[in-house]
């Protein structure tokens, strides 16, 4: 039932119920406190009167009638139960209390008896004190009408029963208004979210001026919306670029097949098949790269981190390019450190090196060199791939790691690349917690020639052994 109500109604209901319970407990405590206070005042006054009359009995100056103040009733009864004296109007023949009641009062108790014993309406609050010499002991009985106490408590109780519901209703109405004002920024956030969902808004939620929880919520949600918008923008750009890149090999394959279809038996399939296979291989590489980047964008998980010996991986990659257009060699580490270890994903490291070597082989003039070495103070490792090609202008080096980036000059995608190789390298290096950059290098054989070096810096992790 409570779940079906709105937030505002639930807050009002819970708050009002708590307030009503608190006021009920407070009202009951107030009535009880007033009753106890009035009863204590009656008992104190009656006890003082009993002491005064006992003093008169002890000194042998007991008057008849006994003077009293207010509505108190006094009887002085001897040991045989005879009324020896009393206040004006009190019965002089029948004691107010029976012998058993007198015995209990002698133990320090107070009794409440029917006022009809004294010809009065309402109950009587009675106490007694023993006085007089041992040869003539008497009991001083003081009775006080307690009807006033009962009426005062009843008046307060009835007043609270009438006033409390009105008070709770007024506070509930006030709370309804206050909570409505408090929740107004939440309603503004809801309306803003609906506009954004309906593509009518600007993609931002209204931020309330007060620096409270709702303000922080709005700021957090706007940050989330900014990240989602950036992700959507990247996704749209990625899809557009992917579609553009896929269109080129598909168009080439279709064109060649249409030409072969028109030529019929005269088509030179021996010359056509290698071109089709090359375009199909390019298309396959492009799809593989797109899938890898898509998986990288989707999740940061998937790295199988373990100790990897980089020099051995470099030789393994170089062996794959034994038949490449230029030789690929590995520069040997220092003799005292023949191995270089790092904590990384072996498949990720091989993909990084393969993409860098592919790019270098495609543009190198005569050679490609691979190397790995620890960096001081020993918590990082540098892996480099150097070629003697035309290089990349400094202004374009950072842009070369973006997806589907077109570079002017000799190092563009026309050499057979997909335009995603360096982007994949940057993504894999980032996921390993490292950095990658492109730098110029002066070749020893020709001081005027400027080659290109790709430098990958990786953290070593917990591996400390270099063999």
Instruction: State residue 150's pLDDT score.
Output: 80
Write the burial class of residue 251 (CB in 10 Å: 0-12 exposed, 13-18 middle, 19+ buried): exposed
The dihedral region occupied by 265, where left means phi > 0, alpha psi between -120 and 50, and beta the remainder, is: alpha
Instruction: State residue 70's pLDDT score.
Output: 77
Q: How far apart are CA 284 and CA 418, in angstroms?
A: 10
> If you compute the radius of gyration of the chain from its CA atoms, what whole number of angstroms results?
51
pLDDT digits (tens, 9 = 90+) for 452-463: 999 999 998 765
Q: pLDDT band for position 413 (50/70/90)?
A: very low
Mean pLDDT within 316-339 = 85
Q: Does domain 213-298 have CATH number 1.10.287.130?
A: yes
Q: Where in the chain is the domain with CATH 3.30.565.10?
A: 306-459
pLDDT digits (tens, 9 = 90+) for 420-430: 788 888 988 98
Instruction: State residue 385's pLDDT score.
Output: 95
Q: Where in the chain is the domain with CATH 1.10.287.130?
A: 213-298
Angle (CA) 305-310-312 rounded to 5° is: 120
Instruction: State residue 369's pLDDT score.
Output: 94
The pLDDT > 90 percentage for the chain reads: 16
Q: How far apart are CA 381 and CA 340, in angstroms?
A: 8
Q: End-to-end CA distance of the chain, in Å?
A: 71
* DSSP code of residue 66: P
User: How far, in Å, are 30, 64, 285, 354, 424 from residue 456 at the CA level?
Assistant: 80, 119, 23, 13, 13
Instruction: State residue 103's pLDDT score.
Output: 77
Closest CA to 396 of 330, 441, 440, 449: 440
Q: Is the pLDDT of residue 105 over 60?
A: yes
pLDDT digits (tens, 9 = 90+) for 190-211: 888 877 776 655 577 888 887 7
CATH of 306-459, one of 3.30.565.10, 3.40.50.10490, 3.30.1330.60, 3.40.50.920: 3.30.565.10
Q: Is the pLDDT of residue 21 over 60?
A: yes
Q: Where in the chain is the domain with CATH 3.30.450?
A: 10-151
- Least confidently predicted of 33-37, 129-133, 410-414, 443-447: 410-414
Q: Is the pLDDT of residue 299 over 70?
A: no
* DSSP code of residue 301: -
pLDDT digits (tens, 9 = 90+) for 145-176: 888 778 888 888 889 888 888 988 998 899 88
Instruction: State residue 409's pLDDT score.
Output: 47
10-151 maps to which CATH number? 3.30.450
pLDDT digits (tens, 9 = 90+) for 271-286: 778 888 877 877 787 7
Q: How far apart are CA 321 and CA 358, in angstroms?
A: 9
Q: What is the mean pLDDT of the chain?
A: 82
């Amino acid at each position: 039932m409570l779940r079906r109500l709105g937030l505002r109604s639930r807050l009002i209901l819970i708050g009002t119920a708590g307030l009503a319970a608190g006021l009920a407990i407070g009202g009951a405590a107030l009535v009880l406190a007033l009753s106890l206070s009035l009863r204590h005042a009656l008992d104190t006054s009656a006890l003082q009167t009993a002491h005064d009359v006992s003093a008169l009995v002890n000194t042998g100056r007991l008057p008849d009638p006994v003077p009293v103040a207010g509505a108190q009733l006094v009887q002085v009864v001897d040991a045989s139960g005879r009324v020896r004296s009393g206040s004006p109007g009190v019965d002089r023949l029948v004691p107010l209390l029976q012998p058993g009641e007198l015995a209990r009062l002698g133990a320090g108790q107070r009794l409440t008896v029917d006022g009809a014993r004294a010809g009065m309406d309402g109950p009587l609050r009675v106490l007694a004190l023993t006085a007089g010499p041992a040869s003539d002991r008497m009991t001083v009985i003081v009775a006080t009408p307690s009807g006033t106490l009962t009426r005062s408590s009843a008046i307060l109780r009835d007043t609270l029963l009438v006033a409390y519901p009105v008070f709770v209703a007024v506070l509930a109405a006030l709370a309804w208004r206050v909570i409505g004002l408090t929740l107004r920024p939440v309603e503004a956030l809801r309306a803003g979210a609906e506009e954004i969902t309906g593509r009518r808004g600007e993609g931002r939620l209204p931020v309330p001026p007060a620096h409270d929880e709702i303000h922080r919520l709005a700021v957090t949600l706007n940050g989330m919306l900014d990240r989602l918008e950036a992700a959507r923008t990247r996704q749209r750009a990625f899809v557009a670029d992917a579609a553009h890149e896929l269109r080129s090999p598909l168009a080439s394959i279709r064109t060649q097949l249409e030409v072969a279809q028109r030529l019929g038996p005269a088509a030179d399939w021996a010359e056509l098949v290698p071109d089709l296979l090359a375009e199909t291989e390019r298309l396959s590489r492009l799809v593989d790269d797109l899938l890898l980047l898509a998986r990288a964008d989707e999740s940061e998980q998937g790295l199988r981190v373990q100790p990897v010996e980089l020099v051995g991986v470099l030789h393994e990659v170089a062996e794959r390019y034994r038949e490449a257009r230029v030789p690929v060699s590995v520069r040997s580490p220092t003799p005292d450190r023949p191995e270089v270890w790092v904590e990384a994903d072996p498949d990720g490291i091989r993909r990084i090196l393969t993409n860098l070597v592919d790019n270098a082989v495609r543009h190198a003039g005569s050679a490609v060199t691979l190397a790995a070495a620890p960096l001081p103070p020993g918590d990082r490792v540098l892996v480099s791939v150097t070629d003697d090609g035309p290089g990349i202008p400094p202004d374009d080096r950072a842009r070369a790691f973006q997806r589907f980036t077109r570079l002017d000059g000799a190092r563009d995608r026309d050499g057979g690349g997909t335009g995603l190789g360096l982007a994949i390298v940057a993504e894999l290096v980032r996921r390993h917690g490292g950095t990658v950059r492109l730098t110029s290098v002066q070749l020893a054989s020709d001081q005027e020639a400027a080659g290109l070096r790709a430098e990958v810096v990786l953290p070593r992790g917990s591996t400390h052994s270099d063999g």
